[in-house]
Structure 1
Amino acid sequence: MDIRIAKETALELLSRAKAEGATALSFTADEFSFSVEFAPKQIAVAAPATAPAAAPVAAGEEAPPAAEQDVPGTPVRSPIVGTYYAAPDPQSPPFATVGQEVKKGDTLCIIEAMKMLNEITAPCDGKITRIFCQNGDLVEYDQVVMAIQ
């Protein structure tokens, strides 16, 4: 058998064996021979991510209300997912407190997302009746953070 024909035949057999999912192949033709073992296919399997356990609520702390949508007055909602900050920095007083009168456009809090600070402003004039978040809390898109009446 011509070596060129043996090589072409071997390559064709090799291709077919691989396509068929064979684990090994041996070929001999006159003076030409070879053996191949194919490695099993490696499949990466990711372990399912587990959600972190919810932090227990300490005595005296108020758990977030279940029905924030039932807020009397005008709800102030987070326009993005991020971290809630009540003040511009830890040493400064909060932008808004319960009972404080605010005017439309006043800054009420900051939501940080991807190192961008987004000022949340009052949608109307009124009095802050409730604040649902604490400094450093993670807030979701459209989550009620305050109520104005």
Structure 2
Amino acid sequence: MDIKEIQNLIKFVAKSGASEVKLEMEDIKLTIKTGSEKTETTIVQAAPMQGLQQVAAPVQAAPVAEATAASTSEVSEDSKYVTIKSPIIGTFYRKPAPDKPSFVEVGSEVAVGDTVCVIEAMKLFNEIESEISGKIVKVLVDDSSPVEFDQPLFLVDPS
């Protein structure tokens, strides 16, 4: 694992909102802890690998206070809608391929079993199907973004 891969992993963890990630491979142990102020990474290696011994890399995390204030006002108006949530951790995609149209758009009607997006996890693309019928009111995640388990993806008006 080179420094570029480690930096990409740090950025991915910071964006995902996870509080701690541990990765252990044959010759390397990697722990990434995120807090409200910074991200801390510790790397310990069993065998020397390209001169990396131990690295602590602070990364700025997004401010949480502003997001919390904005989401509180949205919750009251969004409470009449049903949320489609992510069943797995991975990368969210709205399209089956870059040159194809999105599965659903705001205003699209969905039925039970319709594919609304795909989530890539470990090089596997998992189709996420709607468990409710209704109209897509809001897409809550940007295309090609990391998502967590149980993270809201879409708001659906079931009426």
Asked if these proteins are the same fold (TM beyond 0.5), I'd say yes
More strand by share: 2
RMSD (Å), alpha carbons: 2.9
Measure how far apart 1:102 and its partner are: 0.7
In 2, Cα distance between the equivalents of 1:54 and 1:93? Answer: 33
Output the CA distance in 2 between the equivalents of 1:55 and 1:89: 30
> Going by fraction, where is helix more abundant, 1 or 2?
2
Q: Which amino acid aligns with 2:71?
A: A
Does the residue aligned with 2:60 lie in a helix, a strand or coil? coil
**CA displacement at 1:130 relative to structure 2:** 0.5
Task: Note the C-alpha offset of 1:69.
Answer: 6.3
Identity over aligned pairs, percent: 40
Aligned counterpart in structure 2 of residue 125 of structure 1, from 133, 141, 146? 133
Deviations 1:91-127 (A, max 9, x none): 1000010011110110000011111111111111100
Following superposition, the deviation at residue 140 of structure 1 comes to 1.1
- Hey, what does 1:134 align to over in structure 2? 142
What are the superposed Cα offsets for residues 61-104 of structure 1, whole Å, 9 maximum, x if unpaired?
A: xx896357663311010111111100001110000100111101
Residue correspondence of structure 1 range 1-149 to structure 2 within 5 A: 46-50=54-58, 52-54=59-61, 66=71, 71=78, 72-149=80-157
Where relative contact order (Cα < 8 A, 6+ residues apart) is larger, the structure is: 1
Q: How many residues align?
A: 99
The structure having more radius of gyration, on CA atoms, is 1
SS at structure 2 position matched to 1:66? helix
* Structure 1 runs not aligned, ≥5 long: 1-43, 57-62
Q: TM-score, normalised by structure 2?
A: 0.54
Check conservation: 1:69, 1:144, Cα contact below 8 A: no
AA matched with 2:96: P
Calculate the TM-score normalised by the size of structure 1.
0.57
Structure 1 residues 88 and 55, CA, compared in 2 at 3 Å: closer, same or farther?
Answer: farther
Unaligned runs of 5+ in 2: 1-45, 47-52
Aligned to 2:25: none
1:83/1:111 contact within 8 Å kept? yes
